A and B are shown apart, each in its own frame.
Chain A
Amino acid sequence: MTQTDIPTDVPVATAPAPMAPHKDLKWIGRSVKRVEDPKLLRGLGRYIDDVVLPGMLHAVVLRSPHAHARIVSVDAERARNAPGVVAVLTGPEAAARFAPLPDSGPAPDKHVWRVLAADKVRYVGEGVAVVVAETRYQAEDARTLIDVTYDLLDPIVDPLEAAENTDDLVHEALGTNVAYERTFTFGEVAHDFATADVVVRDRLRWGRQTAHPLDTTAAIGDYDPGTGEMVVHTNSISMTWLAFGAAVALGIPSNKLDLRPYISGGSFGSKQFCWRSTVTAAMMSKITGRPVKYVEDRLDHQLNGDQHGSDRYYDVELALMRDGTFRSLKIDCVDDYGAYIQFGVGSHGNALAQVTGPYRITSTEYRVRAVLTNKTQQGAYRGFGADAGNWALERIVDKAAAELGMDPVDIRRRNLIPPDAFPYHIPSGNMYDSGNYEPVLDHALERFGYAGWREKQALMRAEGRKVGIGIVTANERSVYGATEFWFWFDDKDVPVKTTSTPEGVSLTVDTVGNLTVTLYSTPFWGNSSDTVAAMLVAEEFDVDPADVTVVHHGTKGGLPAAGPGGSRLTVMLAGAVTGAAKKIKDKLLRIAAHDMEVDEADLEWVDGGYQVRGAEDARRSTADLAMLAYLVKTALPAGEESGLAANFVYDHPHLTMPKPDRSDLGSFYPCVGHACHLVAVEVDPETGAVDILDYVAVHDSGTLVNPRSYDGQIVGGTAQGVGTALSEELTYDAGGNPQVGTFWDYLIPTALDVPEVDFGHEQTPSPITAHGIKGGGEAGRLMAPGALSAAIDDALRDHGVRVTELPATPERIVGWLRKEET
């Protein structure tokens, strides 16, 4: 099968995916200056905290100082009488008036999640009351006047202990601290292990981190008591298809709730949903009848923003042959989800989308235990579980290479899925649409000067310097189908169903031919949604992207849309814009043919208009035809509507159902990119400091849209991966007290901590998306931790040190060295 063949299995959702001819692309593939930037550079971007509404009040949240305690009483009387205070709402009061927050986990009624704690607090930072006042200063003053009496409970901190503990429970109704447990077996795992020459085992620990965008999550609720309409201005995702979740929590009809998107200073996954900020601001507006702004401060965001990343303990086993050929993989993972489980175990569904990476591995076993503890709950962080999954797989591959005495490049090359095997189904069922991995590897090796670096390394090591080289070859799944959230739940009484995770756009050509594209659910988070949409429109209509107006629509009355996430946005917008443009261009063609009294077949689209083939003078531009469409009904074909606008909802490009017995999870994350990162580091054994000497990143995400922006995503994601690998960690003491709470101790890399990345590109188009685009937004962070871990291993190989825990902080590295010495 060639890579341009469409896969044979019948998908649930296959959107029409016009493959535009690539020879004549005018904008796609060009590094275009972003249309969003001039206002941002002048300080004129309108972020949520810049918005001031008449009569607006300010909310602050009183946070629990205890990890686990019963709330005996909350006395807010003094706060209510403090200067400027308009309202105080305590947790018990909120529980009586507002429904729990949406929770897609198993058995949400057994781990009820509320905007404020009602009966007990389950982590340090959980909100117990909201104060609303005329100014934030007054609200913060009054917050100190609330008296809460707590009955302290034993904190549940270690997830491995918590999994076995049935005496101390985070949620009594659940009867256990294990919210979910499951073992999937894909293929002949037992047989493959029994017949393998070698089994390599590893225990790995992926530490708890968070995205920490510089702009925290915030919302302004604006309730109209007269009409019952609630507008929430928000910098979180405002996806039309799930906004009803907030409406339910607020007790408002979904068609009276409008979530309006604002640009935001970064997300990296952390602004998915954010029900808490939306509901906090909205419920206080409903209570006071005035606009209420809730802006998380840095501590609110870290402790009560529901945005921690994966926190995993892995046992990994790789079965392989003595020549280095992989056979089978077993993964057993305990994940510390914290006190609630808002997205269920979706982050493991995500990891399962590329559980075997870029390698031919014929069978896989995957066990997950999702454990609840007294910590802030998980949300999403760039990679959403596939970050840790990639790292664990690359760690065991490096260990296998070391045990077999193979070069880490050679063992990878031997196992890469060959180009003629695509579309390729991995054991868990997900389909990889296309790929050509070896050229990526070769490109990276050449760019890096691998052989030369090995020689340099030998010379430097001869001088006593601890220099190491690390490599990863790993995948980036993109364009999620929501299956990853629900294939876990296969209760026979629940009918099997799925969603295609659609994305809609509206395209309007006005009377004089100017173009407006309306996006639903897509706030700008730094991901250049506007530039991408404008480029796609410009490509279709032969205009300049800077001349396309981009509108962000609120959820009310919006088309289905899910916004950015899972590296989907560029692909989904490309499908949606292409579809809407086709509707409009078809109409333009009909009008042009009618007006010029020629057959449609005699017309061709050239440079922004239709002209008679071979007759340049006989043409109608988009503006000519738009004028007719709006103003000259008599010039339109019989039955043609006036105006020139189209909606298009693009469904997921390729989604297939899981098998009922879950021996196959179906295809749910099919646009799969690939990358190779190579890094050289020097480790100071005295201080444990890691100095990055050289860094090469070669990526293949199919057709590139805006290469400079794409590289920006790669280097930014790589920098976050450096933080993941070396410095960032949300630590807790044995009492469940967070040990970090500021940027003084949660160490986001500075300009001195990250490398200059040398980029390379390969482009293997997707056969199932418009223009062959795949997503790439998460790719940098999906690669860097594995590459840096391998390089540190290599640097310290004479000491027998292997990185089995991230982040590899200086303190940890020195500890590992000392342990090996003794």
Chain B
Amino acid sequence: MTATHEPAAPVGTDVDTDPATLHPITITVNGTEHRLRVEGRRLLVDVLRQDLRLTGTRTGCDQGVCGVCTVRLDGRTVRSCITLAVQADGADVRTIEGVAPDASTLHPIQQAFWEKQGLQCGFCTPGMVLRVQEILEENPTPTRAQVREGISSNLCRCTGYQFIVDAAIEAAAQMAEDGS
């Protein structure tokens, strides 16, 4: 986003600024389309957790710093705790619940996190898995340093990150072998 010092444009008379007004939105989450009516201030994370009961996405700081609430919005990782639901209108949203191919199989990234113990309490894990997925899509053969730089967007208080890096490297190797 580009910073601007221009004064904000006056709100037109056609814009409803009543905070209680419900706005219709359509979002596709993990392939399923949802039509909802939300307050303008309602956060995307609250829509996911409370309205759609997809509680794998959580909040850690409520300020967009820690990355616990990471989801993918039209492919890019975003902080759902500082994203308004109305901003996601029309978007394709992917959450941790949509990562595994089915109920009995883990995605290679999830499997690598399990094998390498890339998690302890599991609270940052959904965001970390989604971020690693994005990193590997951009660069299928990252170095450890590149993984570290990539996941420095997300805080983990348990692992010291080392085994998360192990998991990302392992997942990259496995996905290259699988051709996925």
Measured CB to CB, the residues of A under 8 A from B are 33-34, 36-38, 40-47, 49-50, 52, 137, 211-215, 263-266, 268, 297-298, 524-528, 708-709, 712-713, 715-720, 742-744, 748-752, 754, 756-757, 780
B93 within 8 A of A: no
B133 within 8 A of A: no
Q: Are A34 and B117 in contact (CB under 8 A)?
A: yes
Give the segment of B2-10, B83-91, B121-129, B172-180 that binds chain A.
B121-129
List of A residues within 8 angstroms of B61 by Cβ: 214, 298, 742-743
B136 within 8 A of A: no
Q: CA–CA, A659 to B106, complex, Å?
A: 58
Extra contacts, 9 of them, besides A265-B68, A719-B161 (Cβ < 8 A), are A34-B117, A38-B114, A215-B58, A215-B123, A712-B159, A715-B160, A716-B159, A744-B63, A751-B156
Once A215-B58, A718-B160, A754-B161 are accepted as A-B contacts, the answer to whether A266 and B121 lie under 8 Å apart by CB is yes
Measured CB to CB, the residues of B under 8 A from A are 39, 41-42, 49-50, 53-58, 60-63, 65-66, 68, 95-97, 99-100, 106, 110, 113-115, 117, 119-126, 129, 144, 147-149, 151-152, 155-165
Q: Are B106 and A42 in contact (CB under 8 A)?
A: yes
List of B residues within 8 angstroms of A266 by Cβ: 120-121, 123, 157-158
Q: CA–CA, A524 to B119, complex, Å?
A: 13
What are 21 residue pairs bridging A and B, where the CB atoms are less than 8 Å apart in the complex?
A: A34-B114, A37-B119, A38-B106, A41-B125, A43-B55, A47-B58, A214-B68, A214-B124, A265-B60, A266-B157, A525-B121, A709-B117, A720-B157, A742-B63, A750-B155, A751-B156, A751-B161, A754-B160, A754-B161, A754-B162, A756-B162
Q: CA–CA, A215 to B99, complex, Å?
A: 22
Q: Are A757 and B162 in contact (CB under 8 A)?
A: yes
Picked from A40, A744, A748, the residue with its CB within 8 Å of the CB of B125 is A40
Q: How far is the CB of A59 from chain B (nearest CB, A)?
A: 16
Q: CA–CA, A264 to B122, complex, Å?
A: 9
Q: How far is the CB of A777 from chain B (nearest CB, A)?
A: 11
Q: Are A716 and B114 in contact (CB under 8 A)?
A: no
How many residue pairs link A and B with beta carbons under 8 A? The number is 170
Q: Are A744 and B65 in contact (CB under 8 A)?
A: yes
Picked from B122, B148, B157, B158, the residue with its CB within 8 Å of the CB of A751 is B148
List of A residues within 8 angstroms of B156 by Cβ: 214, 751
Q: CA–CA, A715 to B117, complex, Å?
A: 12
Q: Are A263 and B157 in contact (CB under 8 A)?
A: no
Q: How far is the CB of A286 from chain B (nearest CB, A)?
A: 25
Identify the closest chain B residue to A526 (Cβ): B121
Q: Are A214 and B55 in contact (CB under 8 A)?
A: no
List of B residues within 8 angstroms of A47 by Cβ: 55, 58, 123
Q: How far is the CB of B114 from chain A (nearest CB, A)?
A: 5
Once A43-B96, A47-B123, A743-B63 are accepted as A-B contacts, the answer to whether A213 and B157 lie under 8 Å apart by CB is yes
List of B residues within 8 angstroms of A718 by Cβ: 160
Q: How far is the CB of A529 from chain B (nearest CB, A)?
A: 11
Q: Are B119 and A40 in contact (CB under 8 A)?
A: yes
Q: How far is the CB of B98 from chain A (nearest CB, A)?
A: 9
Q: Are A712 and B122 in contact (CB under 8 A)?
A: no
List of B residues within 8 angstroms of A46 by Cβ: 55
Q: Are B113 and A264 in contact (CB under 8 A)?
A: no
List of A residues within 8 angstroms of B123 by Cβ: 47, 213-215, 264-266, 526
Identify the closest chain A residue to B162 (Cβ): A715
Picked from A50, A268, A524, A527, the residue with its CB within 8 Å of the CB of B157 is A268
